[in-house]
Structure formats: C-alpha cells, structure tokens
C-alpha cells in the first residue's frame, strides 16, 4: 500500500479527523493503527502494514536496550481506531497531545504509512527538509 500527497484537515470539537479521500480509499473498511512518530507527529498504518513494521521490531534482541526502548515507544503509544463511513475517527488524546495538534492538521502520505502533523509544526519541518534536500 502506498500513501501519497499532502492535505490540510480540520479537527472537530470532538477531536475527530477526517482522512482525505485519497488516503481513505487505500484503507476502506479497515481500522487504522496510530502511533507516535519520531518528529512529534502521528504515524498511521493499515493493519497489515503495521504488522510488517511490528515484525521488524519484534525480531530485534531483547538484550539490546535501544531495541527495548524503541519497542516501548512504538507500542505504548499505539492505538487501533475505527473509522466511520466518512473516514473520520477520534484522535486518541495521548497522541493528539504528543503531536500538539489543535484545530488544524496536515495529513501526508509517507510511502508505507501516512502522518498527521499539527499544521504549523509541519510547515516549519517542511522548510527544514527543503533546506536539507536542496543543500541550502
């Protein structure tokens, strides 16, 4: 499954987010797995893609402290959320707080997953990324 694009979305009073149609169509009829991203965003996965990513982490040695910490980070903040027919779901409070999301969010495709960012944080991060990839 390949997630592409960048979309501005509003967060409703009930902390609901509607996934953009192009992303929603990829995961129609499925729940979504949400977890903490690495840059103060939320990662979103189709269940089958989450399982693939999880297996990578589960294969790492329990004796390695970094591996244990990554597993804790990845699994403790994860939630399985149900989407309604319009592709809306409630953002879990812990993830909403972690990403600092208020009224405006950006949903973007990141290949094997999608990401949910607070709009101003994404804007700043995108500027940084553009400088890095253009060597400016």
What are 23-51's pLDDT values in tens digits?
999 888 889 999 999 889 999 999 999 99
Q: What's the rounded Cα separation, in Å, for the pair 21 and 90?
A: 17
pTM for the predicted model, two decimal places: 0.91
Range of the domain at 90: 6-134
What integer pLDDT is reported at residue 136 of this predicted model?
67
Q: Decide if 56 is inside a domain.
A: yes
Residue whose tokens read 């509003």: 10
CA-wise closest residue to 4 among 18, 23, 29: 23
- Taking alpha carbons only, the member of 88, 77, 82, 71 closest to residue 23 is 88
Q: What is the mean pLDDT of residues 71-88?
A: 90
Task: Establish how many alpha carbons lie within 13 A of residue 127's alpha carbon, considering only the half-sphere containing its beta carbon.
Answer: 5
Which residue has tokens 């999880």?
Answer: 54
Q: DSSP label at 92?
A: P
Q: Which of 108, 109, 132 is nearest to 119 (CA)?
A: 108
From 20, 29, 32, 35, select the one nearest 105 (Cα to Cα).
Answer: 20
Identify whether 1 is part of a domain: no
CA distance 14 to 94: 14
Which pLDDT tens digit goes with each residue over 7-19? 999 999 899 999 9
**Average pLDDT of the residues in 83-107:** 94
58 in a structural domain: yes
Higher pLDDT, 58 or 106: 106
Domain total in the chain? 1
User: Could you tell me the CATH number of the domain that includes residue 47?
Assistant: 3.40.1550.20
């Amino acid at each position: 499954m390949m997630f592409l694009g960048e979309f501005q979305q509003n967060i409703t009073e009930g902390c609901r987010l509607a996934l953009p149609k192009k992303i929603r169509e990829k995961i129609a009829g499925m729940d979504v797995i949400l977890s903490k991203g690495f840059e103060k965003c939320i990662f979103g996965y189709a269940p089958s893609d989450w399982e693939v990513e999880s297996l990578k982490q589960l294969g790492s040695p329990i004796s390695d402290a970094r591996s244990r910490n990554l597993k804790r980070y990845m699994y403790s903040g994860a939630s399985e959320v149900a989407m309604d027919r319009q592709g809306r779901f409630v953002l879990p409070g812990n993830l909403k707080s972690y990403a600092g999301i208020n009224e405006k969010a950006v949903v973007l495709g990141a290949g094997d997953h999608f990401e949910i960012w607070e709009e101003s944080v994404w804007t700043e991060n995108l500027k940084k990324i553009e400088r890095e990839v253009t060597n400016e």
